[in-house]
Amino acid sequence: LELTNETFFEGHVKETSIAITNKYLIKNTNFNFIYRDKLLKISNLKSKFEDLEIFESKVEYKNINNDHELSGDINLKIDSIGKEIKRVFSLYETNLENFDFKSFKASANSSFILKLDKTLAIKDRKFKIVVKADGLTGSLKEQISSKLLKENIKDIQLKDTVLEINHENKNTSYKLISNIKTFEDFF
């Protein structure tokens, strides 16, 4: 199949499941697509992955002189309990062995631009992710001692949390605003 400047196609994908390395199953995937002038647009992307729901998202792919660019906006919601929370966080290869999660409810949106070389390896990336967590509750298997606090930290509860991650040109910045409860009151 050779895609040319005259190539045109469009369609809809409905109720499709996608397995990624037999480890993750993305269910109920739906989207519209159109390809014209070496530009692929995916719109109205909706999907379900573990306790994550992707909605009203879009992705675009451009190929100009063998320079590939993938960009998009992804919106998601999460409402998870117990051990399923660790499975969701495992996507980000974060070590959470010391945590026993009880509940996690949040929404997130991200925008990204990936520039790829002719082998489709990422040569440049830019993204912004904003996560708004209504609540995260859990406990620690091993308590954390603190010189600032009188008691060891065993239980953690977050509310009204906003995490913003910006990445551009190999520089990443993080901004976190949250109410945290480790004992009786939020601070």
Question: Is there a contact between 16 and 27 (Cβ–Cβ < 8 Å)?
Answer: no
pLDDT of 72 strictly over 90: yes
Cα(151)–Cα(170) distance, integer angstroms: 39
The pLDDT score that the predictor gives to residue 18 is 81
Hey, what are 163's tokens?
């995490």
What proportion of the chain, given as a percentage, has pLDDT over 70? 88
The pLDDT score that the predictor gives to residue 55 is 93
pLDDT of 185 strictly over 80: no
Residue 61 CA: distances (Å) to CA of 35, 42, 107, 112, 159 = 9, 9, 25, 12, 37
Cα(97)–Cα(103) distance, integer angstroms: 16
Question: pLDDT-derived band of residue 26, with 50, 70 and 90 as boundaries?
Answer: confident
pLDDT digits (tens, 9 = 90+) for 73-127: 999 998 887 767 766 666 655 666 777 778 888 999 999 999 988 888 888 899 9
Residue that the structure tokens 């929404």 belong to: 107
Nearest partner of 60 among 47, 37, 43, judged by Cα: 43
Cα(82)–Cα(180) distance, integer angstroms: 19
pLDDT of 28 strictly over 70: yes
Contacts (Cβ under 8 Å, ≥6 apart) of 158: 133, 135, 136, 137, 178, 179, 180, 181
Mean pLDDT of 34-54: 89
Question: Is there a contact between 20 and 27 (Cβ–Cβ < 8 Å)?
Answer: no
Question: Is there a contact between 52 and 25 (Cβ–Cβ < 8 Å)?
Answer: no
* pTM, full prediction: 0.76
pLDDT of 162 strictly over 70: yes
The pLDDT score that the predictor gives to residue 120 is 81
Nearest partner of 46 among 87, 77, 9, judged by Cα: 77
